[in-house]
A and B are shown apart, each in its own frame.
Chain A
Amino acid sequence: MTLLSHTWQFFMAHPSQVWRATVQQLYLVAIPMALAIVLAIPLTILSTRIRWLYGPVIGFANGLQTIPSLALLALMIAIGMGIGTFPAIVALLLYALMPIIRNTYVGIMGVDDGVKDAARGMGVTTWQMLWIVELPLALRVIIAGIRSALVTTIGFATLAALIGAGGLGQLIMEGMGMASNSIVLAGTIPAIILAFLGDAIMGKLENVLTPRGLKG
């Protein structure tokens, strides 16, 4: 209990430091996620049209995922990106690609052929096929992919402090350097809350965006 009260004291004494770290952490999650979504979804949609593209695309994303996260960060330095927020964001972005690519592809390819055939036969254009048939029907699976990418990214983001990206990981590392468990916790607790919050929001979103006809 003394540990928690010490942590609380740290929060009270350095509210701006904790707040700044949390905001930094949010950026470290939001920016790579946004970029990953913007990159992965169109690329995957393209590879559902140009099938041979999918092999290289998913192979690349899968390869990145097999690299241990720490090693990927180190790799950023090794390939000359240096340290700081930018290489961290690149690493996080690369790591988030795979679940989104995989789920987008599975979601779109999983749309029933009969439904697509009927729609085409009724005269939907290529764009309409995507927007009013394939994407709505794949949406649930795509969101699930984004959700799992988000959870990984939030976890990974705390490690980004290792290459000087700041955020809650920075706080945790400082705490460890000073052998202060309360400071470690001051970084850990918000990180955990962020992870749960992120997952909960995505779960809610998944539910809201699933058309009623597909539920149950």
Chain B
Amino acid sequence: MAKMLEFRQLSKKYPGTVSPAVDNFNLDVEQGELIVLIGPSGCGKTTTLRMINRLIEPSSGTLIVEGRDYRTYNAVDLRRRLGYVIQRIGLLPHLTIAENITFVLKLSGVDRTSRQKRAIELLEMVGLEPAEYLDRYPKELSGGQQQRIGVLRALAHDPDIILMDEPFGALDPLMREQLQEEFKRLQQNVAKTIIFVTHDMDEALSMADRIVLMRDGGIVQVAEPEEILRHPADEFVASFIGRFRVLRQASEVSVGEVMLTGPVTIGAHQGLAQAMELMRRRRVNTLLVRDTTKTFIGMVSQASVRHHFEAGETFKVSMIAEMPQKTLKPDDTALTAMHQMLEGNDLELIPVLNDDGKLMGLITRGSLVGLLGDALRVAAEVDPSSRSSEGAS
């Protein structure tokens, strides 16, 4: 596939600053790729993006745009070849929607009829009724509608490359999600090469073909979303993913922090009918059996309780309680919990006991969902074939 953009040791140091805003940036972008630049505020995302359309001149290194060094383009011509969408939208308030959408076409001298036709075509693409919107002015549109026009404006002249700087950043979450979806659909049809800046990891994960994670002007990791979740390059990446996804290193989180503290328990002396009723009422299929001192005695499953109950037995629950294969202590790490859950033939839940055998809480899969990134890694480490053989033995 053709390379659309080749960054070669691209760097930018603003005059009067100590360290470069972008430092030795290297990347090849294939045609049709959607690259997301992400990283903490001030890491150089916008600077990188704006060097592509020469709104900022690089200090050193070079950039090859569609096979040609950026310096061989006239800056104005280069910009008219690209699409540009910014967070502040920046529609021209004194121009109609039609005029805004076809602004670049007008700059390039395309005639009025063709421009009008193109505006109609694009509005239809995003489901905005042309008759209603063509002659409106930007301020007569909602923020979400305005940014739709902002995106259409970047598509109007059919550029090969589109630059987007936090295009949905100013929208409320619902609107943002809607525009993301819409944009993904649009992208499936137009298949542009897109450089997309965001600070929203969810957005990056859902939009990107590849994510470029930046820090202090440099690239920390370039990878597909799945890969970055599975194998964060270093602590920084892991914590960056964590910060945005509420994912934390499972090895740093204790079982005590993530366990459920109010599991449904039943006293050892209670009967099977009471157990059935409790399960129905609390909508659970396992009960933790404890004695009056909260000492853990075992677990009973719904199947087992029903079986004994229907057989007409009058046992107390303590008599059918079974000790689970695995238990955890509050200060075990969540990573241990994950390993146990996966190794224990995909257990649904593991009770957490203190050193005196008293019941402290419960770990379920749900309590570990927030640690998904690490779970994927654990799953990859625990070889599936060894797990099934272990289960069979």
Contacts and interface: CB of A to CB of B under 8 A. Distances in A.
A214 B137 CA distance: 9
Interface in B237-278: none
A213 B96 contact: yes
B104 interface: yes
A115 B92 contact: yes
Interface residues of A, dominant DSSP: helix
A116 B89 CA distance: 11
Interface string B73-105: 000111110001010111111111000000110
Given A114-B86, A212-B137, A213-B95, 5 more contacts: A118-B86, A123-B79, A123-B80, A211-B93, A213-B137
A213 B150 CA distance: 16
B197 to A, nearest CB: 13
Given A123-B77, A123-B80, A212-B137, A136 B94 contact: yes
B96 A114 contact: no
Interface residues of A, number: 22
B308 interface: no
A81 to B, nearest CB: 43
A113 B90 CA distance: 8
Contacts of A119: 90, 92, 103
B274 to A, nearest CB: 66
A125 B93 contact: no
20 contacts: A112-B93, A115-B93, A116-B90, A118-B88, A118-B89, A118-B90, A118-B91, A118-B150, A120-B55, A121-B53, A121-B55, A121-B79, A122-B107, A123-B77, A124-B107, A125-B76, A133-B92, A212-B137, A213-B93, A213-B137
Interface in A104-155: 112-125, 128, 133, 136-137
Contact of A114 (B55, B78, B80, B89): B89
Nearest 3 pairs of A and B residues by beta carbon: A114-B88, A118-B90, A213-B137
Contact of A123 (B76, B86, B92, B96): B76
A121 B53 CA distance: 7
Contacts of A116: 90
A122 B138 contact: no
A117 B137 contact: no
Contacts of A118: 84, 86, 88-92, 150
B93 A137 contact: yes
A117 B93 contact: no
A107 to B, nearest CB: 13
- Size category, B interface: 20 to 34
Interface of A: 112-125, 128, 133, 136-137, 211-214
Interface string B171-188: 000000000000000000
Contacts of B137: 212-213
Contacts of A211: 93-95
B94 A214 contact: yes
Given A128-B107, A213-B139, A214-B94, A122 B89 contact: no
A113 B89 CA distance: 10
A58 B79 CA distance: 35
A114 B90 CA distance: 5
Contact of A112 (B55, B80, B84, B90): B90
Interface string B46-59: 00000001010000
Interface string B98-118: 000001100100000000000
A116 B137 CA distance: 17
A159 to B, nearest CB: 39
Contacts of B76: 123-125
B120 to A, nearest CB: 20
A121 B77 CA distance: 11
A95 B355 CA distance: 91
A117 B53 CA distance: 12
A121 B87 CA distance: 13
A136 B138 CA distance: 15
